[in-house]
A and B are shown apart, each in its own frame.
Chain A
Amino acid sequence: ATKENNFPVLYGELNKLGQNGEYERAIKIANKILGISQDEEAAFHCKVICYIQLSKFNDALQFITKNPKLSGNLDFEKAYCLYRLNQVQDALKVVENVSNPSLKLKELKAQILYRLEKYEECFSVYRDIIKNSHDEYEDEREANLAAVVVNLAIEDS
């Protein structure tokens, strides 16, 4: 029980390493926390993020599928790994199973639909996102929308 008193300190360190992009070291801290308590969902989540940031998509995916109890909220991360591992069809299944998807899940869904060349559906997802998002990526998002429009035009010609 005394060990768990360290959690605020460990999480503080984890938080800082995450902000500084030191993901190798962050994994070690996350492991420390998970070593003390296996059910620390936040540490688990952080570890998955670290793997993805380090482009270890296979590791992240396996880690998620092996711990279904802790990964109930990690649909976005799971689908993103599948997307990067070129299992795009499976990625779409994960995304479509989520009721009430967050904005970032919609963003990923749009990219998945683009890769699957479902441009009509992709277009409407982007319209929805662009209407409802206010972030620093609006230019890039419009570039993506333009790419969708180009492909729709090619399909029609």
Chain B
Amino acid sequence: ESGVNKYTKTKKPLHERLHEYREDSALLTKQPNVYKLPPSMQPISCKPLFFDLAFNMVEFPDLSEKLGNQTKKGGQAGL
């Protein structure tokens, strides 16, 4: 019964059969089949696009008052 499985050869890496007891002499060799590396690809949900719109609002204050009469059209003199 349970003994039958004991020596069965398997291609599953160790981490996939941790729940069953099995004597596996292959684990004592120099190339033990513990985990498949590199792991196989798995789909994950993508990170949604997210824009830094605040950066677009990092701008100089309105300097028109500081420019004095330079750029102003006439008509404001004397105020």
| Range class of the B interface residue count | 20 to 34
User: Using a Cβ–Cβ cut-off of 8 Å, how many residues does chain A contribute to the interface with B?
Assistant: 34
SS of B interface (majority): loop
- The answer to whether B58 touches A7 (Cβ under 8 A) is no
Distance, CA A42 to CA B66, complexed state (A): 8
Binds A, one of B10-18, B21-29, B33-41, B43-51: B43-51
* Minimum CB–CB distance for B62 against chain A, Å: 9
Distance, CA A32 to CA B46, complexed state (A): 49
* Minimum CB–CB distance for A52 against chain B, Å: 5
SS of A interface (majority): helix
B79 at the interface (CB under 8 A from A): no
Residue from B52, B56, B66 whose CB has the most chain A CB atoms within 10 Å? B66
Contact A45-B50, Cβ < 8 Å, known A11-B67, A12-B71? no
- The answer to whether A144 touches B50 (Cβ under 8 A) is yes
Distance, CA A46 to CA B57, complexed state (A): 13
- The answer to whether B68 touches A146 (Cβ under 8 A) is no
* Minimum CB–CB distance for A28 against chain B, Å: 15
Contact of B60 among A15, A83, A107 (CB under 8 A): A15
